[in-house]
Copies of this chain bind each other. A is one copy, B any other.
């Protein structure tokens, strides 16, 4: 990660004179967006792709540790979080809690007030004791500034190495995090260290260890440490005996309000955590660290300028969306406890199934070098752990939701010309996914149901998630085939380009709501499965009509992960063939039938933008030469589902997936991940300027854009007429200017040639 040494305003002005009169982009970021409802956004401070994510915790069952309810007291601020996730929580390690007054209990909770956030900043008042807590952070160390405003109370800080999110009463419950061990050591009269070792969680991971080192701006005058239920005054070391440990640190009762704490974390050792503090925050100037981290964000956010015409709300939505996209995966280079420490190493792919479609393409656009490092870290994981992850967290692969989607990332990198990746190795890694079943735990990595898929051409109902697995493997195979072809590996190309049609093996010519042809369950003998019988909780028998494309077997009949489709219906999944929309249209009965099908999907609310498999769907009108309808649908979807409020994200943000989908569409183009082009839509901004990493600039102008002039009537690229409704990545990467002439009605622009399809 490049870091800007921040040397004060003078330096900044010299560096970026163009920013002189513009408000800094970082000020538009509102970390609260998506923190209410299902967004599950982490609201604490984070550096871009930052390893440490300190933030408020008031609900151990919450994925972010946080729920907005003001009547739910905070119990601490833990140092590691993920953002926007669902399922069982992960992390929530090393909880810090300031408190004041007489010490009567290890448990210390307070309601909060005056909660405010910025990119890189969090602040709240702990009402019970009137303690203001501010937090900022660097990549690997957090900085806390406490103000104890009730002067007559004794100050204290609790550091809990036994705490974590998502514990369940029954050990080894599905997706529960489970305690392994912890250690707490008082090093000096102003520093403590230790670790928390936890296993399980959403991805059913093996044990991971979060080490910490915390140092205070003032000495504590006494302390207790604990192990299990046993609290002991003055005991400096609580050795790991498989019990929870922590420290209560008591500071003198002076009138000095302020107490600061720096806390570094590491996945390597306590000493490394201490070194992370020393390297990243070698001072006690909270504001300097805050400015430095905000400048890092500013440098990234200002890669894209959306002009002065954008409304405040649009700016807030757009830059917060960019911000969300750069929270995860997390850069753990130098913090890998599993192999060569200094290779690129990213963790918290959570999950690539969610992020391959829009998050990674957005990272590729803003900082291709970052995406190169991420892809290389996938290949390093393949070399050492045997498979690229589809999801990974806590240094452990798991779990796959649908396909082995690293294939898409590799194809996306290859066809967007990213350099510095060993594509032969990448092909080998993709072939491993495609040819070697992952073994007993088919949720961990690779392709579940692969034996079926490779022998029958589809995943039969002998396996869970057979529907989405089949169609996703078909697209994975397409990505593999195209990379194989590019590398002159004809044998692999021939095999996999055929397999890319495998989605058709589950295509059943059923008609529903006027649409014909749906992905439907088939058994291993090749027979369509019409209905599925299951016992439901009240002991009665239920039938799921599998031949009804709106029916779903989960979560009532079978577990969340055990249905024929994952998270969506056949109405949605049957349109998820990103490599061969032309064939999809033919099989659906041609352009007109396909238009009706899409209209029904949207008009009847069979579509859910919160499900990633449907991310591309509003753009499918492009393939019937109606890009105007794509833009209309996208605008409707955004208006209906997104806004700048705290509940402004539809469904879990999924590590930035929902946010990056929005960001692309606000700019007026959207990737078909794994392929080289973007679909052009109506932008939200009159001018979008992308500062490319190669030093070039790409500008999109939407002349005459206003609330009514929402149709692209014509376009030019670098002054020449541009008739296509899609644009190649190379056209953007080479820099230039795309000028769209907007009007109140569509024209024939973009209606001559549909975007690419396999067939």
Contacts and interface: CB of A to CB of B under 8 A. Distances in A.
> What's the interface size class on A, roughly?
35 or more
A440 interface: yes
B275 A338 contact: no
A337 B441 contact: no
Contact of A439 (B241, B242, B342, B439): B439
Nearest to A195: B269
Given A195-B269, A439-B440, A440-B387, A239 B275 contact: yes
A332 to B, nearest CB: 13
A149 interface: no
B440 A269 contact: no
A592 interface: no
A207 B446 contact: no
B436 A339 contact: no
Nearest to A184: B271
Interface stretch (A51-59, A175-183, A364-372, A694-702): A175-183
Contacts of A387: 440
Contacts of A439: 436-441, 446
Nearest to A387: B440
A219 interface: no
A188 interface: no
Contacts of A183: 269, 271-272
Given A199-B338, A207-B338, A239 B180 contact: no
Contacts of A438: 439-440
A181 B209 CA distance: 15
A193 to B, nearest CB: 10
A271 B341 contact: no
Q: For the complex formed by this chain, how many copies does it contain in all?
A: 2
Contacts of A269: 183, 195, 239-240
B240 A271 contact: yes
Interface string A433-456: 000111111000010000100000
A465 interface: no
B271 A239 contact: yes
A339 B207 contact: yes
Contacts of A637: none
Contact of A341 (B185, B237, B240, B339): B240
Nearest to A276: B239
A432 B441 CA distance: 11
A365 B383 CA distance: 44
A437 B437 CA distance: 9
Given A237-B271, A338-B206, A339-B178, A440 B451 contact: no
A263 to B, nearest CB: 17
B338 A180 contact: yes
Contacts of A272: 183, 239-240
Given A197-B337, A271-B239, A338-B180, A437 B440 contact: yes
Contacts of A342: 241-242
Interface in A300-341: 334, 337-341
A268 interface: yes
Given A239-B271, A441-B386, A337 B436 contact: no
Enumerate the 9 nearest inter-chain pairs by beta-carbon distance, A residue then B residue, closest first: A439-B439, A242-B341, A436-B440, A239-B271, A239-B275, A438-B439, A207-B338, A240-B268, A242-B342
Interface of A: 171-172, 178, 180-181, 183, 185, 195, 197, 199, 206-207, 209, 237, 239-242, 268-269, 271-272, 274-275, 334, 337-342, 383-384, 386-387, 432, 436-441, 446, 451
